[in-house]
Amino acid sequence: MAVSASRLNLWGGIAFLVLVLAALIVGGVQVRDWLADEQRMPVQVVDFSGDFSHVKVGQLERLIRQSQPGSFFALDVNEVYHLVEAQPWVYRASVRKQWPNTLKIYLVEQQPVAQWNEDLLLNPYGDTFDASAEGLSLPRLFGPGGSEKTALEGYNAMHSLLATVGMPIAELSLSERFAWQLQLQNGIELNLGRKEFIDRLQRFIDVYPLLTKETKAVKYVDLRYDTGLAVGWKNGDSDEIKEES
């Protein structure tokens, strides 16, 4: 009889444990469903902050809500982060939840400094991004794939030098052989070649006051000489100017 009573107690304990576990599982499922129910715990506010002008936050918020239709607790911050950083005008982003119903997003916007090969934009680090240049006044840079950083570094160096005489660059081209060509905003074309392009550009700056004294308008200047340069005029004439040693 004692053995039978102990067995009954054992099975009773097991049954009680099973009932407790079942109640916990059912309760957990119900809590999970309740927390995932958007109607009960919706994300009411998507708060964007940062310094930006090109990012369309209304459109971005719609994309986020479409990709994350669940509740505040069901929302996946990592997925939102990757979605936000995939937008063309977003350079960097941080995403976090704020209790009880807010998603906070901090944006760092891309800073366009030049157009690249007519279909992309360049940021200050030489990274390309696919966004529209409409309404932007940017220099045009051209070059072979993979030369973006080289082209931008060359542009920055030449722009700084030309800024001292008020002649901004409208277009820069870097050939497959890495020869440099410029078109200035005043219409003058410069052929700098592959070597010592900064020294050659300085040579142009030094001789430019002499060229402005001519009655003819300058079309191009070829600086691919060890000394001197060749000048093409808009009337079709050309001259070669030698430097005196």
pLDDT in tens, 116-164: 999 999 999 999 999 999 999 999 999 999 999 999 999 999 999 999 9
pLDDT score, position 38: 45
pLDDT score, position 35: 47
Q: What is the DSSP letter of 12?
A: H
What whole-number percentage of the chain has pLDDT above 70?
82
- 114-241 has the same fold as 45-109: no
pLDDT score, position 228: 87
pLDDT score, position 32: 53
Could you give the residue ranges of the DSSP H alpha helices within 117-239?
148-163, 197-212
Q: Is the pLDDT of residue 234 over 50?
A: yes
Residues 6+ apart with CB under 8 A from 117: 141, 142, 143
Q: How many other β-carbons are positioned within 10 Å of the β-carbon of residue 220?
A: 17
DSSP SS3 for 54: coil
Q: Is the pLDDT of residue 111 over 70?
A: yes
Q: Is the pLDDT of residue 191 over 90?
A: yes
| Arithmetic mean of pLDDT, 211-227 | 92
**Distance of alpha carbon 167 from the chain centroid:** 28
Long-range interactions of 197-203: CB distance < 8 A, separation 24+: 197/154, 197/158, 198/157, 198/158, 198/161, 200/224, 201/158, 201/161, 201/162, 202/161, 203/229, 203/243
Distance (Å, rounded) from C-alpha 88 to C-alpha 227? 46
CATH 3.10.20.310 fits 45-109, yes or no: yes
Computed over every residue of the chain, the mean pLDDT equals 88
Evaluate whether 124 touches 107 at the Cβ level (below 8 Å). Answer: no
Evaluate whether 221 touches 229 at the Cβ level (below 8 Å). Answer: yes
Q: Is the pLDDT of residue 10 over 90?
A: no
Crossing angle of helices 148-163 and 197-212, in 10° steps, is 40
Architecture of the domain defined by 114-241: 3-Layer(aba) Sandwich (3.40)
pLDDT score, position 236: 78
Q: How many other β-carbons are positioned within 10 Å of the β-carbon of residue 96?
A: 12
Q: Is the pLDDT of residue 22 over 70?
A: no
Q: Which helix (H) or strand (E) holds 71?
A: none
Q: Report pLDDT digits (tens) over 48-66.
A: 999 999 999 999 999 999 9
Strands, sheet with 128-129, edge to edge from the N-terminal-most edge strand: 128-129, 120-122, 114-116, 140-142, 169-174, 180-184, 189-193, 218-222, 229-233, 238-241
| Arithmetic mean of pLDDT, 71-75 | 91
Q: What is the pTM of this model?
A: 0.79
pLDDT score, position 23: 60
Q: Is the pLDDT of residue 186 over 90?
A: yes
70 versus 116: the higher-pLDDT residue is: 116
Domain segments of the chain as ranges: 1-36, 45-109, 114-241
User: Measuring CA to CA, which residue among 64, 67, 74 is closest to residue 42?
Assistant: 74
Q: Is the pLDDT of residue 237 over 90?
A: no
Evaluate whether 192 touches 151 at the Cβ level (below 8 Å). Answer: no
| Arithmetic mean of pLDDT, 44-48 | 96
pLDDT score, position 171: 98
Long-range interactions of 179-188: CB distance < 8 A, separation 24+: 180/154, 182/158, 187/219, 188/218, 188/219, 188/220, 188/221
